[in-house]
Structure 1
Amino acid sequence: MNRRLAAVLLAVLTVFTFVPIASAQSTPTLSNIRTGQHAGFSRVVLDLSGLPTEHRVSEVTSVSHCASGNPITVAGPGIQEILAVTLIGAAAHDDNGNLTYTGSQNFATPGLQHIRGVALTCDFEATLGVAVGYNNTNSWHRVFTLTSPNRLVIDVGL
């Protein structure tokens, strides 16, 4: 009797092992990039379906595409420095490879006082890169996340 029960249990477990399980999008995705001018600072907002695992920020003078290594010139006049923001655990496409962000990949921001341009620098292996070009090396910056809705905020000011 124990052998028969063991065989039945093994057969049931085998069936459940091969049943596909529906899952939600595993990596938070970018849906929009918004910009705005506020008193004393300019802002870039990345609208996301969820929050990235982490984000890293560095001040650089040039950027390149993460997969190809090709240099990227951030659009916009008078850019003196670039804030390179890397979102670990985020993408601009879904699990099937469909783009979730279909806006411009590199654009000038003429209505902003401190930020001159924004460019996507990476969408590869759950890493999303964004470059924010600004015109004054004495500028301050802050980068943080907010929820309801989920977004990453990049502020640059003097």
Structure 2
Amino acid sequence: MTRFSRRALGALAATVLMLTGGVVAAAPASTAHVAVPVLTNIRTGLHTGFDRVVLDWSGAAAPRVRVTHVGDLYADGSGELVWLTGEFFVQVVASPAYAHRADGSVSYANPQKFRTRALRNVMAVAVVSDFEGYVTVGLGTRYRSWVRTSALTSPARLVVDVGH
């Protein structure tokens, strides 16, 4: 019979638990998902002097948002280039946020990428990625312009205005 040290047995047990998925997470994903806003709809509209893109969210408050002009749009996680109609691109990153339900199904059932018809600057909108609590939405624009954001409640939504 072969003898193993306690240290070797502990390492072997840890390896077996890791390989079999025996480690229990601190909190199930479904409970962590409850308080985080979930994307439910995207709407667009033409206004005097600007185009408006509205991101509707479940919950009491919209997530924080960071807006950046970028050269290209890339999906989080995979790093794949996301093709979108437009000469310039605006990246809207919301966090903490999801674009899926607790069961993994997509919460925003409309097309993940669509062209706008009646707007002057924003040509297309896409849900670029939904990864680790970050939802990235890309806007393809005709030209680079100012961008203004605001968060509204009752219902929760993020408003992104892009100048003409």
Same fold, judged at TM 0.5 (above): yes
State whether structure 2 residue 95 is matched by structure 1 residue 88: yes
Task: Note the 1:1-158 alignment, pairs <5 A.
Answer: 25-50=34-59, 51-74=61-84, 76=85, 79-137=86-144, 139-158=145-164
Residues of 1 paired with 2:159 and 2:73: CA distance?
20
| Structure 1 vs Structure 2 CA RMSD | 1.9
- Look up the equivalent residue of 2:74 and give its one-letter code: S
1:118-158 deviation line (CA, Å, top 9, x unaligned)? 01111111110000111112x11111111111000111113
Structure 2: tracts of 5 or more residues without a match? 1-29
Residue 12 of structure 2 is matched in structure 1 by: none
Q: Residue 101 of structure 2 aligns to a residue in which SS?
A: coil
Residues of 1 paired with 2:70 and 2:112: CA distance?
19
- Look up the equivalent residue of 1:55 and give its one-letter code: V
- Look up the equivalent residue of 2:50 and give its one-letter code: F
Structure 1: tracts of 5 or more residues without a match? 1-21
* Contact map agreement 2:65 2:94 (CA 8 A) in 1: yes
Calculate the TM-score normalised by the size of structure 1: 0.78
Percent identity, aligned pairs only, is 39
State the number of aligned residues.
Answer: 134
Residues of 2 paired with 1:117 and 1:53: CA distance?
22
Residues of 2 paired with 1:148 and 1:101: CA distance?
19
